[in-house]
Amino acid sequence: MSSPRSRLVELTRRDAIRRALLVSGSLAVAPSLIAACGGTSDEAALGGADSSNGTAPTVAPTGSQPTNTEPTSAEAGTAEPAATAATTATASAEVPGGGSLTVDFTFAPSGDGRIRNPYVAVWIEDTDGGLVDTLAVWYQERERKYLRELTRWMSVDGSDESLATVSSATKVAGTYSLSWDLTDAAGVAVPAGDYVVCVEAAREHGPYDLVIGPVTVGTDAATVDLGADNELTGVRVTYAV
């Protein structure tokens, strides 16, 4: 019968071999090696070791055994949703208060004999050819049918509303000036930008005249000479701020 000391040495040796085999993964194929270190079974030896120190053996994990690891920062949390960029509507720039636009032109009939007064229309279009406002229409009510000779104005406006508010009788030859208060046909102030000024004239037994040209309404004053066409001359636009 072995002494307690020799048994403790034997258990310590067997436990060291067993730990080494566990680390190398060879425990399952070398039971004889452990048995060769003593006549006591593995169960008894381990039981004896447990009873001698009261502590269960610590087994190091092998490469095939799962280990508990802390999640990385990417795994621990979810990505924050991308913030949707706020879209801010940009309001159209406004025309400075007190601004005005003046259209000047001269009607100089050609030829001799009796010259009938022309039908004249003056209006403002946007850059797409749409009506912004009609400034004046000169015609004879009893000869309303001849308004059709003002072909461009009739295609853009030609409304009874305009005739009721801005029309007047025809005028003799001379130089005239009309003002635009920078509002549209509904009386709403227009935004700054590019516009087209149109002056159209037609008379019985006379030529057809049309002068059109661009003008920019904004923060800078401007004067634009639009030229002439037949009996319409000296067409000029003056924008003041």
Residues 79/176, Cβ–Cβ less than 8 Å:
no
Residue 164 in tokens: 């009721």
Under 8 Å between Cβ of 226 and 197: yes
Residues 196 and 142 in one domain: yes
Residue 81 lies in a domain: no
125 and 176, same domain (yes or no): yes
Check whether residue 140 and residue 48 sit in a common domain.
no
Question: How confident is the model at residue 96, as a pLDDT?
Answer: 67
DSSP H helical ranges for the chain: 4-24, 31-35, 42-53, 73-76, 151-156, 160-166
Is 108 within a domain? yes
Cβ neighbours for 144, distance < 8 A, ≥ 6 positions apart = none
**pLDDT score at 119:** 97
Residue 93 included in any domain: no
Cα(215)–Cα(238) distance, integer angstroms: 9
Total domains in the chain come to: 2
- Longest CA–CA span in the chain (Å) reads 158
- Integer Cα distance of 100 and 179 in angstroms: 7
User: d(Cα 125, Cα 199) in Å, to the nearest integer?
Assistant: 11
Q: Say what the pLDDT of residue 14 is.
A: 58
Tell whether 87 is covered by a domain.
Answer: no
Residue 34's CB is within 10 A of a number of other CB atoms, namely 18
Q: Are 191 and 168 in contact (CB under 8 A)?
A: no
pLDDT of amino acid 205: 85
Do the domain assignments include residue 73?
no
115 shares a domain with 216: yes
Domain range spanning residue 195? 100-240
Mean pLDDT in order along the chain per 10 residues (241 residues): 50 55 45 44 41 44 45 42 33 70 95 86 98 98 94 96 94 96 96 98 93 96 97 97 90
Same domain flag for 114 and 217: yes
Within a domain: 89: no
Distance in angstroms (rounded) separating the CA atoms of residues 38 and 13: 10
Q: Is residue 49 part of a domain?
A: yes
For residue 138, give the CATH number of its domain: 2.60.40
110 & 203 share domain: yes
Does 146 share its domain with 233?
yes
- Give residue 61's pLDDT: 44
Domain boundary among 43, 60, 77: 60
Q: Could you tell me if 227 and 141 lie in one domain?
A: yes
Same domain, 106 and 166: yes
Instruction: Confirm whether 78 is domain-assigned.
Output: no
Tell me: do 55 and 104 sit in the same domain. Answer: no
**Do residues 110 and 187 both lie within one domain?**
yes
Give the C-alpha separation, 232 to 205, whole Å: 15
What does the pLDDT read at residue 112? 72
Q: Which amino acid is at 16?
A: A
**Are 172 and 117 in contact, with CB atoms under 8 Å apart?**
yes
User: Of the residues 30, 60, 90, which one is the last residue of a structural domain?
Assistant: 60
